[in-house]
Amino acid sequence: MGSSAGSAAPAVVKPKIKQGVAPLRAGEGHSFLLRRLHSLTGIVPVGLFLIEHFISNAFAVNGPAAYTKQVEFLTSFPFVVALELFGIWLPILFHSLYGFYIWYRGDSNIGEYPWTGNWMYAAQRWTGAIAFFYMGWHTWHIRFTGVHILSHPASAFGKVQLEFQNTWVAMFYLVGIIAASWHFAYGLWLFAAKWGIVTGDRARRRFGYVCVIIAVVFIAVGMATMRSFFHWPLHPVNGGSS
């Protein structure tokens, strides 16, 4: 066959043949380590921090004095900033950014396959995203703007109360609490299933109920905590902005 160079016929551009999904790359890459690290950071330390955070805030139920004492206790830790940075912020940042990357690479298909597990798969992504934006906003407001709580623990209670004066802000807290609670509780279930801690079909179903209860308890504790900030009279905020 001769070359068609110079002929008048237009070159036929064939669409690229779809290659399909590539076979397993046995023994290659680091995605196993990164994915399992993502899984693990969801529990330790991020999940542990979430538990601590819900418990600490629940001291608000006992009023401003008890709340202040708990804040003082937390701020009294040695190396607070390093603990926060390496124990909380960086792990959350890794889990979140890698979480978005995992989300981006999956193709949710609840339209075609509207089954419970598939819905939960989608919900794990959406609740993660809600928790992400909530946490960013929440941290900015409570930790990095206004009264500096680390140096003025007694102002913490009042600071949250002032936040809640705006109904939309209070609503966002509620949404954030529900999203984080669900994400963590279902995350426990996912972790147990993927790491082979709970393997049998019946055991997995039973542990599923346990995780729903965990989610409900978290949401209830969060709501009770929120209620107490409304319930107690406005607590003075002093110390000014620093």
CA 226 to mean position of chain CA atoms: 19
Q: Which residues fall within 8 angstroms of residue 162, CB to CB, at 6 or more apart?
A: 234, 237
For residue 103, give the amino acid letter.
W
Under the binding rule (CB under 8 A), the answer on residue 117 touching other proteins is: yes
Instruction: Please identify which residue in 89, 103, 172, 207 interacts with ligand HEM, judged by CB under 6 A.
Output: 103
Instruction: Give the residue with the Cβ less far from ligand HEM, 205 or 231.
Output: 205
Q: CB of residue 153 vs other proteins: minimum separation in angstroms?
A: 41
Instruction: Please identify which residue in 80, 82, 90, 197 interacts with other proteins, judged by CB under 8 A.
Output: 197
Under the binding rule (CB under 6 A), the answer on residue 100 touching ligand HEM is: yes
Pairwise CA distance, residues 170 & 59, whole Å: 18
Q: CB of residue 224 vs ligand HEM: minimum separation in angstroms?
A: 19
Q: How far is CA 31 from CA 27, 49, 102, 122, in A?
A: 11, 25, 11, 21
Instruction: Give the residue with the Cβ less far from ligand HEM, 95 or 235.
Output: 95
Pairwise CA distance, residues 90 & 80, whole Å: 14
Q: CB of residue 146 vs ligand HEM: minimum separation in angstroms?
A: 23
Under the binding rule (CB under 6 A), the answer on residue 89 touching ligand HEM is: no
What's the angle, vertex CA 42, arms to CA 202 and CA 144, rounded to 5? 145
Phi-psi region of 239 (alpha: psi -120 to 50; beta: other; left: phi over 0): left
Q: CB of residue 59 vs other proteins: minimum separation in angstroms?
A: 35
R_g (Cα) of the chain, nearest Å: 24
Residue 132 partner contact from ligand HEM, other proteins, none using kind-dependent CB cut-offs of 5 to 8 Å: ligand HEM
User: Is residue 52 within 8 Å of 83, Cβ to Cβ?
Assistant: no
Under the binding rule (CB under 6 A), the answer on residue 96 touching ligand HEM is: yes
Provide the 8-state DSSP code for 233: P
What SS3 state is found at 125?
helix
Residue 50 partner contact from ligand HEM, other proteins, none using kind-dependent CB cut-offs of 5 to 8 Å: ligand HEM
Instruction: Look at the chain and count its residues.
Output: 242
Instruction: Please identify which residue in 43, 150, 174, 221 interacts with ligand HEM, judged by CB under 6 A.
Output: 43
Instruction: Please identify which residue in 204, 206, 227, 231 interacts with other proteins, judged by CB under 8 A.
Output: 204
Please report, as ranges, the residues that interact with other proteins according to CB under 8 A: 14-29, 31-32, 35-36, 102, 104-109, 112-113, 115-118, 120-121, 124, 190, 193-201, 204
